[in-house]
Amino acid sequence: MSRANAGRGRSSASTIVGLMAAVLVGAFVLASTLVSILPAFRFESQFPTILPFFAWAGATGVGHVANLGRGLLEPWRLALGYVSVAPYVLVMLVSAAAPHLTLPWWLAVVAALAAAAPFVILAVRAGTPLAIDPIKDADPGSQRGTFLIGIALMLMGYAVAGPSVSGAVLAVLLAVGLGVVSMMTHGLARASRTWRLRHWAALALGSLAVWASVLLRGTTEVFDTAWGVLGAVLAAGVPLLVVNARESRRAS
């Protein structure tokens, strides 16, 4: 009975992870495509949309990210992975080749849904190894690294929502710093060894907040006030900081 319960729990965790990956991929493609095709972002780069990936790499290390990618490549390919990214690639190529051509916004939605589809398929398909099992409990070093990743997410929120010049400088500094720590064997937070599903979910929420801030910055005036910027900062980093604080109390 316990083995059956464990199997059901692992299957449920794999489904959650797959759906979380689908949301993340879809959100990134949506933000990236809208930045590429909307007139409001005519003079903006794609750099802010890739900032959250530096946090993921910095938390776990590029080695683990590469191993994960190699492990998921074949299941993703079999789930029509290459076909799923075709709309995104096509829209990006057209917008780059004809920057003055106005493309409809709904193409971004189509591209996002298509890119997310393989991960939905993997989430509901039995046997896909997507469960997250920490090797050990978080130690003080991992907790400090997780805290720093949370602070980095808050700074990302300010970089995309705050003043343009200082935000751009901060974004570059964050990318460089997180790129350096991502070269560590297990990253800054040793995430692949110590993080539980709630840590990854909090990092995902922070990433979604950054992408939402990128879009809101270019299409609304919500960040013209300090309160709006503060909201972006808190939304990006607080979820992971709260999870880390609870984990620290549990370990003590």
Cα distance between residue 76 and residue 119, in whole Å: 7
What is residue 11's predicted lDDT score, i.e. its pLDDT? 62
Cα distance between residue 30 and residue 25, in whole Å: 8
Residue 52 predicted with pLDDT over 70: yes
Give residues with Cβ within 8 angstroms of 184, minimum separation 6.
61
Cα distance between residue 240 and residue 252, in whole Å: 18
Residue 6 predicted with pLDDT over 50: no
Residue 108 predicted with pLDDT over 70: yes
Average pLDDT, the chain: 88
pLDDT by residue (tens digit) across 70-104? Answer: 878 888 888 889 999 999 999 999 998 988 888 99
Q: Against a cut of 0.85, is the pTM above it?
A: yes
Percent over 90 (pLDDT), the chain: 59
pLDDT by residue (tens digit) across 120-154? Answer: 998 887 656 666 666 677 778 889 999 999 999 99
Residue 4 predicted with pLDDT over 60: no
